[in-house]
Amino acid sequence: MKNIVILISGGGSNMAAIVRASQKEDWASRYGARVAAVISNKGTASGLVFGKEQGLDTHVLDHKTYADREAFDAALAEVINRYDTPQAPVLVVLAGFMRILTAGFVEKYAGRLVNIHPSLLPAFGGLHTHQRALDAGCKFAGATVHLVTPELDHGPILEQAVVPVLPGDTAETLSARVLTQEHRIYPRAVAALLSNK
């Protein structure tokens, strides 16, 4: 059984969408895969509640308690590796995980580390994507699922979804419109990876 480990920092709605898709589409029989664990770098992340309700292993690694990025990433890898065996390589899914990972960590999970970013990459990597899209006068916005490479918000694109920017949009209304699309494309991209498409 392949293990999916999902990393979150907050609400975890993308994580929940992936968990629900894995149940509805029976990823266990279809791909021999299951969501095994949720890891958060914040103890207050509300997504942890959903994870527990679903009977998933939940782990909190508070980044503030580690000396530096390397120490945090080493601790993160130690937890992830509990779900990683040669027969069942782990798939690491970043879902609203708001920490920059070191190149060493990224290279360890190369090809099996994915992220969702709320913009049409390569436009608007980094933070405040919706406000920046509005400020730039974009007529369209969206989200991107991509494989993670050491450079932030780069890496091969697996899925994208486009939404219109509507008159009167604020960062909040645009973000909500994009998020509904994230919930559609992220599970689909993960399923495609599991089926080696």
Is 146 known to be catalytic?
Answer: no
95 scored as a contact of ligand GRF (CB under 6 A): yes
- Binder among 2, 4, 6, 10 for ligand GRF (CB under 6 A): 10
Nearest-angstrom CA–CA distance, 60 and 43: 6
Nearest-angstrom CA–CA distance, 98 and 40: 10
Helix axes 13-24, 171-194, angle to 10 degrees: 40
Considering the candidates 117, 130, 146, 183, report the single residue annotated as catalytic.
Answer: 117
- Binder among 182, 185, 187, 193 for ligand GRF (CB under 6 A): 182
159 scored as a contact of ligand GRF (CB under 6 A): no
- 26 neighbors 192 (Cβ within 8 angstroms): no
Least spacing, CB of residue 29 vs ligand GRF, in Å: 26
153 scored as a contact of ligand GRF (CB under 6 A): no
- Binder among 51, 118, 155, 187 for ligand GRF (CB under 6 A): 118
13 scored as a contact of ligand GRF (CB under 6 A): yes
Dihedral sign, Cα of residue 46, residue 112, residue 175, residue 55: negative
Least spacing, CB of residue 22 vs ligand GRF, in Å: 15
Q: What letter represents residue 42's amino acid?
A: K
Peptide bond into 187 cis (omega under 30): no
Could you tell me where the beta strands, DSSP code E, fall in 20-135?
Answer: 33-40, 57-60, 91-94, 113-117
Q: Which is nearer to ligand GRF, 12 or 51 (CB)?
A: 12
Residues in contact with ligand GRF by CB under 6 A are 8, 10-14, 95-96, 116-118, 179, 182
Q: Which residues belong to the active site?
A: 117
